[in-house]
Amino acid sequence: MDEVIRVEGLTKNFGQLQVLRGIDCSVKSKEVVCVIGPSGSGKSTFLRCLNGLEEPQGGRIDICGRTLVNEGQMMGDKELNALREEVGMVFQSFNLFPHLSVIDNVTLGPRKLHNMSRKDADALAHDLLKKVGLGHKAEAMPASLSGGQKQRVAIARALAMRPKVMLFDEPTSALDPELVGEVLQVMKMLAAEGMTMMVVTHEMGFAKEVADGVVVMDGGGIIEAGDPNTIFSNPS
């Protein structure tokens, strides 16, 4: 069907340590899937495999209509670079470029990778910054922003590449509690617009409200998967 992500038998080792023990999972177009589970269960490693930041040992990943990994073999670098433009990623720690203004953080990708003119890139960035509630911060430097504002810039930056899917790795875990809501609000808006999303999160309220599917990881495997109502009210 219209699956944007399909993962079969994905395994990943760091040296002797098996961190992913055969992950099977799929995400359809416009679905939001939340990944939950204790620290060290392999959530970040799984997400990183989905845009080729980690090289798995085995299994298969199809994403955005391309085969990223087949029998543990990754696609070539050129293809990988093209794929990464379609797979947006937002990290816990924002990872903004500290020496660039907010708008330059957002326009860098489209200008360098999509050869967009500065004028067009600036217009796109202004639209996206407005969308995440930061239209007034275009000229600010990242250091002057709150954590919640930084993360919203990071989301705008990812969206500037017009991704087909967005991966979020604990996007609110580094934030003071009073700043969590503004970031979740932006993510809810993206979900409502039909963005396909995979979100590692501890925010159970968000998962219950927004997720179409919830995946529970433990010890490098998926121990449960289903719709949020079943997972939260009737966990096996």
What are the residues binding Mg ion (CB under 5 A)? Answer: 43-44
Would you say 37 or 228 has its CB closer to ligand ADP?
Answer: 37
Separation of alpha carbons 171 and 203, rounded Å: 10
Tokens found for residue 236: 């096996």
Would you say 43 or 164 has its CB closer to Mg ion?
Answer: 43
Tokens found for residue 80: 């990988």
| Alpha-helical regions (H) of 74-200 | 77-86, 102-113, 118-131, 147-159, 177-192
Would you say 41 or 196 has its CB closer to ligand ADP?
Answer: 41
Separation of alpha carbons 135 and 206, rounded Å: 25
Separation of alpha carbons 54 and 47, rounded Å: 9
Q: Which amino acid is at 227?
A: D
Block residue for tokens 């009210």: 233
- Which residues between 67 and 96 bind ligand ADP (CB under 6 A)? none
- Which residues between 10 and 69 bind ligand ADP (CB under 6 A)? 14, 17, 19, 37, 39-45
Minimum CB distance to ligand ADP, residue 201 (Å): 11
Q: Binds 115, which of ligand ADP, Mg ion, none (CB < 5 to 8 A, cut-off by type)?
A: none
Query: Do residues 189 and 180 touch, judged by C-beta distance below 8 A?
Result: no
Query: Do residues 85 and 163 touch, judged by C-beta distance below 8 A?
Result: yes
Q: Binds 42, which of Mg ion, ligand ADP, none (CB < 5 to 8 A, cut-off by type)?
A: ligand ADP
Residue nearest to Mg ion (CB): 44
Q: Binds 45, which of Mg ion, ligand ADP, none (CB < 5 to 8 A, cut-off by type)?
A: ligand ADP
Separation of alpha carbons 213 and 4, rounded Å: 14
Minimum CB distance to ligand ADP, residue 152 (Å): 22
Would you say 37 or 109 has its CB closer to ligand ADP?
Answer: 37
Minimum CB distance to ligand ADP, residue 37 (Å): 6
Instruction: Report the DSSP beta bridge partners of residue 13.
Output: 18
Q: Binds 63, which of ligand ADP, Mg ion, none (CB < 5 to 8 A, cut-off by type)?
A: none
Site residues, ligand ADP (CB under 6 A): 14, 17, 19, 37, 39-45
